[in-house]
Amino acid sequence: MKRYGSFRWILLAVGVIAIIGLTGMNVYSLYALHENTLESSRENKKLQITEFTDKIRYRFFKKFIGLGSADINRLQEQYKNTGQFTPEVTKLLNKAAEDSIYSDIYFIPSGSDACQQHDPILRYSSNNKFQPTSNYSAVVCDGMGIARTQIKSLLADYQYNNKVLFHSHRSITIALIDPSEQEVFGYITMPFNQDFLRNSYLPKVLTQKFGAEEHPGMNVWLRDWTNNEIIASSNPNISYDREQIQFAQNFPDFFDYWKVEVSFTDKSTIAASNTSLIRNLIVLGAAMLLLLGALVFMFRSAQKERALAERQTDFLANVTHELKTPLSVMQAAGENLADGRVQDQQRLKNYGNHIFSEAVRLRKMIDKLLDVAKTNAGESLVEPQPTDIGEVVESYLDKHQKFFRNKDVILDINIDENLPAVNIDQNSLETIISNLVDNAIKYSTDEKYLGIRVSNQNDHVKLCIEDHGIGIAKKNISNIFTKFFRVEDSLTAKTKGHGLGLSIVKNLVELNSGSIDVESNPGDGSTFIITFPILSDSDQKDSLNTLPTQPESESRNKELEEHVS
Ligand code: ADP
């Protein structure tokens, strides 16, 4: 038994550990999922930034698409003869000149020393013609210088394309190549219009693409990191905070000192993910609590069943003993009488008394066992009828007068007048009273006080049976109505019993639609309170002529009373 007990504990511990482990794993995966959701939403946004910068890059040179397939030999020829470009190239140049993104368009023929000597270079002017000018900015020469250096290593690879594009510092330079000769004919250089970019174009595209409404989950700034200057922002209401930046990307190579910087607000994603996380955690928590509850419940009921089985085994051993003892006494006394060994009148009387009191003890015992069997059988044995509880109590007291006198019981009886009738089985009520009174006397100390009160409480009748005995500790109160339960202490050990009386009482009270409660303090005594609902008016009328019948057990008790003393 003990081995199984510890095995059960081990199983419970394994179960609890498994549940805790599973819950932990689930919570961990829920958090991981939450993080992944946020992460993937951010990765997605980073991609959008990359796409955005690529788009701007394309925007810088898209006006020159088509230049690569222009006939370079014809262009050279035309330029040699007229100092101007062919119509197809001029058309492209016109389109570029109209675009505010470029501040000017210059052409520097290949052999020119323009930037070194500060000689004039050609500027594309409003009459769609190139005209010499000495008024050009350093940006033009920077771009051209970079292009000239880079083309030296690239030229050998250009056999079919007549154009190379250079993203040089704050300008774009296009080298026009004659692939058949593998030589550069000249450079078209266009500085960017920074005023237009900073004040008009970039703020507009940033708010259009990443403004608060379009992109609630992020704020984007374009920052010149060399001057720590914010050039444009997707949401001008939100001020730049370096600490908040979670992602940065270089702006297209024309402006390598510009950076696109992003802070993720992710409010909607976080909120959605948080809500789902919380919902999942609640469901998980509830499921785990349910599982734990079920486990503990199963464990507790297994324990209870075990305790009941143990009590039943004890009970069987006790009952066997209790039944055998009076029988042995009766057998021995009967044998002596039958042998005729007892002649003296007084001794004869004593023998008779012995046999009778042992028979009564035996009968009480058997009655109790039968009561248990009856209450186990349930409602069918209960025959409710309108009953005046006060009358039943008085009749009970009347029958047991002698018993109380002999036991020196101090009776304190208080029964309300004109009690309404309740619908209960009278035999049940007798058994209830008799068990509670028995206990009140059994568990009393030297003072054998017995208080019985019957009162009318509006919609029910209340029966209280009070003693000033040993009382019941709080921790035992919930168990005393359990079958075979006896309080385990030295005071209870002095009395005989099997822990059946109160379970019978409770069963009978409930079978008769009543309720039972107990108030008790160790050393102060106990009060058992029973209530039964009163009959409705119509039921009362029906019951006027129905007086309580003689309880079945009356003759039995009369007989008992005459002899027990
Ligand atoms: P039994 O009296 O045969 O042991 P019961 O079912 O009548 O069985 O009572 C169960 C237990 O409740 C008793 O063993 C006793 O410990 C406790 N008990 C019952 N009535 C009283 C009482 N009036 N005062 C103190 N303890 C009581």
Q: What is the pLDDT of residues 460-485, one digit of tens each?
A: 999 999 999 999 999 999 999 988 88
Q: Determine whether the shortest distance from the Cβ of 206 to ligand 1 is under 6 A.
A: no
User: What is the pLDDT of the chain when averaged over all its residues?
Assistant: 82
Highest mean pLDDT among 186-195, 277-286, 371-380: 186-195
- Higher per-residue confidence, 379 vs 329: 329
Q: Which atom of ligand 1 is nearest to the CA of 498?
A: 3
Q: Is the pLDDT of residue 380 over 80?
A: no
Mean pLDDT is lowest, of 295-304, 410-419, 530-539, for: 530-539
Number of Cβ within a 10 Å radius of residue 30: 17
Per-residue confidence band for 457, with pLDDT thresholds at 50, 70 and 90: very high
Q: Is the pLDDT of residue 38 over 50?
A: yes
Per-residue confidence band for 552, with pLDDT thresholds at 50, 70 and 90: very low
CA atoms within 13 A on the CB side of 320: 6
pLDDT score for 499 = 85
Q: Is the pLDDT of residue 31 over 90?
A: no
Q: Determine whether the shortest distance from the Cβ of 469 to ligand 1 is under 6 A.
A: yes
Taking CA atoms only, the protein residue closest to ligand 1 atom 20 is 439
Q: Which atom of ligand 1 is nearest to the CA of 525?
A: 24
Taking CA atoms only, the protein residue closest to ligand 1 atom 10 is 499
pLDDT in tens, 424-439: 988 889 989 999 999 9
Q: Determine whether the shortest distance from the Cβ of 486 to ligand 1 is under 6 A.
A: yes
pLDDT score for 62 = 83
Q: Determine whether the shortest distance from the Cβ of 441 to ligand 1 is under 6 A.
A: no
Q: What is the mean pLDDT of residues 17-30?
A: 82
Per DSSP, the three-state class of 101 is coil
List phi, psi (to 5°) of 136: -135, 155
Q: Determine whether the shortest distance from the Cβ of 436 to ligand 1 is under 6 A.
A: no
Q: Is the pLDDT of residue 451 over 90?
A: yes
DSSP conformation letters of 426-449:
HHHHHHHHHHHHHHHHHT--SS-E
Instruction: For residues 383 and 363, give the distance between their C-alpha atoms in angstroms, rounded to a whole number.
Output: 24
Q: Which atom of ligand 1 is nearest to the CA of 497?
A: 3
* Mutation choice for ligand 1 from 486, 521, 529, CB with most ligand atoms inside 8 A: 486
Per-residue confidence band for 546, with pLDDT thresholds at 50, 70 and 90: very low
Q: Is the pLDDT of residue 165 over 70?
A: no
Q: What is the mean pLDDT of residues 39-64?
A: 83
- Higher per-residue confidence, 397 vs 117: 397
- The Å distance, Cα 393 to ligand 1 centre, comes to 21
Taking CA atoms only, the protein residue closest to ligand 1 atom 16 is 487
Instruction: For residues 9 and 5, give the distance between their C-alpha atoms in angstroms, rounded to a whole number.
Output: 7
pLDDT score for 106 = 92
pLDDT in tens, 120-154: 789 998 788 888 888 888 888 888 888 888 887 77
Strand-by-strand arrangement of the 247-250 sheet: 229-233, 218-224, 258-264, 247-250
Number of Cβ within a 10 Å radius of residue 511: 19
Q: Determine whether the shortest distance from the Cβ of 525 to ligand 1 is under 6 A.
A: no
Distances (CA, A) of 410 to 335, 390, 391, 406: 40, 19, 20, 11
Q: Determine whether the shortest distance from the Cβ of 472 to ligand 1 is under 6 A.
A: yes
Per-residue confidence band for 548, with pLDDT thresholds at 50, 70 and 90: very low
Q: Determine whether the shortest distance from the Cβ of 382 to ligand 1 is under 6 A.
A: no
Q: Determine whether the shortest distance from the Cβ of 502 to ligand 1 is under 6 A.
A: yes
CA 338 and chain centroid, separation: 79
Q: Which atom of ligand 1 is nearest to the CA of 481?
A: 6
Q: Which atom of ligand 1 is nearest to the CA of 467?
A: 23
- The Å distance, Cα 413 to ligand 1 centre, comes to 22
Q: What is the mean pLDDT of residues 61-86?
A: 86
Instruction: Write the DSSP symbol of residue 155.
Output: G
Q: 462-486: string of b/e by CB count within 10 Å (b at 16+)?
A: bbbbbbbbbbbeeebeeebbebbbb
pLDDT score for 365 = 75
* Mutation choice for ligand 1 from 439, 464, 484, 521, CB with most ligand atoms inside 8 A: 439
pLDDT score for 560 = 39
Q: Is the pLDDT of residue 538 over 70?
A: no
Instruction: Write the DSSP symbol of residue 489.
Output: S
Taking CA atoms only, the protein residue closest to ligand 1 atom 19 is 439
Q: Determine whether the shortest distance from the Cβ of 481 to ligand 1 is under 6 A.
A: no
pLDDT in tens, 201-255: 988 988 888 886 666 678 899 998 888 889 888 888 888 988 888 888 887 667 7
Contacts of 119 (CB under 8 A, 6+ apart): 112, 113, 134
Q: What is the mean pLDDT of residues 249-276?
A: 76
Percent of the chain with pLDDT over 90: 21
Instruction: For residues 210 and 203, give the distance between their C-alpha atoms in angstroms, rounded to a whole number.
Output: 10
pLDDT score for 147 = 82
List phi, psi (to 5°) of 172: -125, 135
Q: Determine whether the shortest distance from the Cβ of 388 to ligand 1 is under 6 A.
A: no
Percent of the chain with pLDDT over 70: 86
Instruction: For residues 72 and 59, give the distance between their C-alpha atoms in angstroms, rounded to a whole number.
Output: 25
Taking CA atoms only, the protein residue closest to ligand 1 atom 3 is 497
pLDDT score for 279 = 84
Q: Is the pLDDT of residue 543 over 60?
A: no
Q: Determine whether the shortest distance from the Cβ of 85 to ligand 1 is under 6 A.
A: no
pLDDT score for 490 = 78
Q: Is the pLDDT of residue 84 over 60?
A: yes
Per-residue confidence band for 562, with pLDDT thresholds at 50, 70 and 90: very low
* Mutation choice for ligand 1 from 480, 505, 506, CB with most ligand atoms inside 8 A: 480
Pick from 421, 476, 467, 406: which is nearest to 442 by CA? Answer: 467
Q: Are 312 and 484 in contact (CB under 8 A)?
A: yes
- The Å distance, Cα 494 to ligand 1 centre, comes to 12
Taking CA atoms only, the protein residue closest to ligand 1 atom 7 is 501
What are the structure tokens assigned to 449, written together? 């006080």
Mean pLDDT is lowest, of 434-443, 492-501, 535-544, 555-564, for: 555-564
Highest mean pLDDT among 65-69, 315-319, 444-448, 464-468: 464-468
Q: Which atom of ligand 1 is nearest to the CA of 435?
A: 7
pLDDT score for 453 = 97
pLDDT score for 558 = 46
pLDDT score for 269 = 62
Per-residue confidence band for 381, with pLDDT thresholds at 50, 70 and 90: low
Q: Are 492 and 486 in contact (CB under 8 A)?
A: yes
Q: Determine whether the shortest distance from the Cβ of 499 to ligand 1 is under 6 A.
A: yes
What single-letter amino acid sits at 7?
F
Number of Cβ within a 10 Å radius of residue 456: 16
Strands (E), 9-124: 106-109, 121-124
Q: Determine whether the shortest distance from the Cβ of 507 to ligand 1 is under 6 A.
A: no
